[in-house]
Amino acid sequence: MTGAFTVDVEGATLAGERIGADSPPLVLIHGMAGERGDWDRLLAALPADYPILRYDLRGFGLSPSDDREYSHSDDLLAVLDALGIECAAVLGLSMGGGVALNFALSHPTRVSRLILISPAIVGWEWSAGWKGLWHEVSRAARDGDLARARERWFQHPMFAVVRESAAAEDLRHAIDAYHGRQWIRDPQRMELPDLERLHTLAMPALLLTGERDVADMRLIADVIAGAAPQVRRIDFVGAGHMLHIERPAEVAAAILG
């Protein structure tokens, strides 16, 4: 099965697409303020027939939602069930990495291998500096000044390396297209910290990180690498947070390897 799809879940319609060979796909889960088109540079570096499933998370891109409580992991389970996919490899970026990890811990039989790029983690206690930067963005969005919120997000230290790269305009375009609702309010269901479950991670995992990523993300990666079994980490020298657009060829090679 290839082509566009939608999956109706309680409170939302999830929009996505399958491309490449008709076999168990690599499921791509984008990050905060993103959508499924964010993967274009990475897909261009993978073989044309590589099996891919990518979709817009609830409330992002073309996946409209209401304000009821939800779980991104539950949504991913609904997508796999609706498409008849019993088990797949799952790749998550940043916030999407936290979703992928949470899903793998909660539904280990549905994940053959896990790939995390600069991942967040559910239930993480962010540093005061991180919270301050987030509050600057969310305050501007709550005040109705989305232009300022988007500029604050674009200038976030996470994106320092990509702002210096050829992919800077990709990031700017994605942020400018983002409606900003999750900066104001995001009714995700509260979860217990996944930190306590890392030792139960059942499948092989590939952890891709950038040497110049921000301290919070570096610490999360260190904890995952130290606590979860079967984790192989590749730390890209000189790279930042957005490895899929900063270093797409190298990330593709790591995935294929």
In the structure encoding, which two tokens stand for residue 154, read together?
């674009």
What CA–CA distances, in Å, run from 44 to 38, 93, 251? 12, 17, 11
> Which residues constitute the domain of residue 58?
3-125+186-256
Whether the model clears a pTM of 0.95, i.e. scores above it, the answer is yes
Could you read off the pLDDT of 131-164 as tens digits, one per residue? 999 999 999 999 999 999 999 999 999 999 999 9
Which 8-state DSSP code applies to residue 45? H
Q: Is position 94 within any domain?
A: yes
Q: Is position 148 within any domain?
A: no
Q: Is position 99 within any domain?
A: yes
Q: Is position 166 within any domain?
A: no
Following CA atoms 15, 30, 79, 200 in sequence, which dihedral angle do they give, to the nearest 10 degrees? -170
Could you read off the pLDDT of 47-102 as tens digits, one per residue? 999 999 999 999 999 999 999 999 999 999 999 999 999 999 999 999 999 999 99
Mean pLDDT value across the chain = 97
Q: Are strands 231-236 and 205-210 parallel, antiparallel or unpaired?
A: parallel
Could you read off the pLDDT of 109-119 as tens digits, one per residue? 999 999 999 99
Distance of alpha carbon 117 from alpha carbon 128, whole angstroms: 23
| Residue in this structure with the two tokens 């566009």, named with its chain if needed | 4
Distance of alpha carbon 45 from alpha carbon 141, whole angstroms: 35
Work out the pLDDT band at 2, boundaries 50, 70, 90: confident
Work out the pLDDT band at 1, boundaries 50, 70, 90: low
Distance of alpha carbon 206 from alpha carbon 96, whole angstroms: 15
**Number of C-beta neighbours around residue 79 at 10 A:** 20
Distance of alpha carbon 124 from alpha carbon 129, whole angstroms: 14
Q: Is position 145 within any domain?
A: no
Distance of alpha carbon 103 from alpha carbon 253, whole angstroms: 24
* Alpha helices by DSSP H, the chain: 40-45, 72-82, 95-106, 128-142, 146-154, 160-163, 168-177, 181-184, 215-227, 243-246, 248-256
Distance of alpha carbon 70 from alpha carbon 187, whole angstroms: 7
Q: Is position 119 within any domain?
A: yes
Q: Is position 131 within any domain?
A: no
Per-residue burial over 42-67, b if 16 or more Cβ lie within 10 Å, else e, is bbebbeeebbbbbbbbbbbbebebee
Q: Are strands 88-93 and 111-117 parallel, antiparallel or unpaired?
A: parallel
Work out the pLDDT band at 15, boundaries 50, 70, 90: very high
- In the three-class reduction of DSSP (H, G, I as helix; E, B as strand; rest coil), residue 17 is classed as strand
Q: Is position 177 within any domain?
A: no
Residue 55 belongs to domain with CATH number? 3.40.50.1820
Q: Answer whether residue 174 shows pLDDT above 70.
A: yes
Instruction: Say how many domains are in the chain.
Output: 1
